[in-house]
Every structure is written in C-alpha cells, then in structure tokens.
Amino acid sequence: MTLVNRRDVFIEWGDCDPAGIVYYPRYFVFFDNATVSLFAAAGLPKHEMVKAYDIVGFPMVDTGARFSIPSKWGETITIESRISKWKRSSFDVAHRVLKGEDVAIEAWETRVWVGRHPDDPDRIKSQPIPEEVKARFA
C-alpha cells in the first residue's frame, strides 16, 4: 500500500482572481505544500531531511494539471497526494483535488533529489534517492 496524504486547504480571498475563483497558479503553490506535507506524513519533515541527507531539496522539473471543477473563495478543498513513481534520483507525485466526493483537479509533478554540486557549491546536482526514504512510502 502506498502512502496517501490528505490535506485540507481553505480558499482565501487572495487565492482568487476577479471572478472569485482560484487563480490557477495558486494551485501549484498548494501542490508544493502538499508534497512537503506528504514527506512529513512519512516521517520526513523537509527541514530535518535537508540536514539528515545533506540535500538542498527536491525541486520540480515538470508539472501539469487537468482542471475539471473550479474552487471559490470560502470553500475548502482536499488535496490527496502520493508518490506515483520512484526513479534513481527523481520521483513523480500525483495530486487529486477533491470538492466533497468530486475530483476537481488531477495534477502531477516530477521532482529531483538534489545536493550541492561537488565542484561548485553554487550549483546543484542530482543524487540517488536513499532506499530508506523510498521505503517510508510503502
């Protein structure tokens, strides 16, 4: 069974466009926070992981979403997140935004596990994802 994390998000006025619906780039902020919450649910809070594994983080290199139902100011949505695929130094995250029982958005991200480049500390370089990290999501 793969770990699935659920996170409720209350839609604030500042998340919305003049029509009162969530301005689509805000969802990608929600998804970024949901990914961090997913790792925390696996016992890997990001601020501790960065130190424990000597990484810079896991930046996004690809993302997309399919929007079906808009969300509005004052509503609460639920974001379900899970790792859909592990690779050597990258991983895919799947997000589903729910409004009640209805799927409002299906989104995905590809992220890369990175540390400082050994030859230039101002750059980053991908690193293999530790197996013990992957195991926490099983």
Catalytic residue among 8, 15, 17, 119: 17
User: What span, in angstroms and rounded, lies between the C-alpha atoms of 49 and 5?
Assistant: 18
Name which of 2, 22, 18, 35 is nearest 104 in CA terms: 22
Domain of 40 in residue numbering reads as 5-135
User: Is 122 labeled as catalytic in the residue annotation?
Assistant: no
Total of domains in the chain: 1
Name which of 78, 71, 91 is nearest 23 in CA terms: 71
pLDDT surpassing 90 at residue 59 = yes
pLDDT surpassing 90 at residue 108 = yes
CB 134 within 8 A of CB 86: yes
pLDDT at 87: 98
pTM for the whole thing? 0.94
pLDDT at 1: 73
pLDDT at 70: 97
CATH code at 9? 3.10.129.10
Model confidence over 35-45: pLDDT tens digits? 999 999 999 99
Model confidence over 122-132: pLDDT tens digits? 999 999 999 99
Name which of 16, 47, 20 is nearest 30 in CA terms: 16
SS3 readout for the chain: CCCCEEEEEECCHHHECCCCEECHHHHHHHHHHHHHHHHHHCCCCHHHHHHHCCCCECCEEEEEEEECCCCECCCEEEEEEEEEEECCCEEEEEEEEEECCEEEEEEEEEEECEEECCCCCCCEEECCCCHHHHHCCC
CB 81 within 8 A of CB 34: yes
CB 46 within 8 A of CB 40: yes
pLDDT at 112: 98
Model confidence over 6-25: pLDDT tens digits? 999 999 999 999 999 999 99
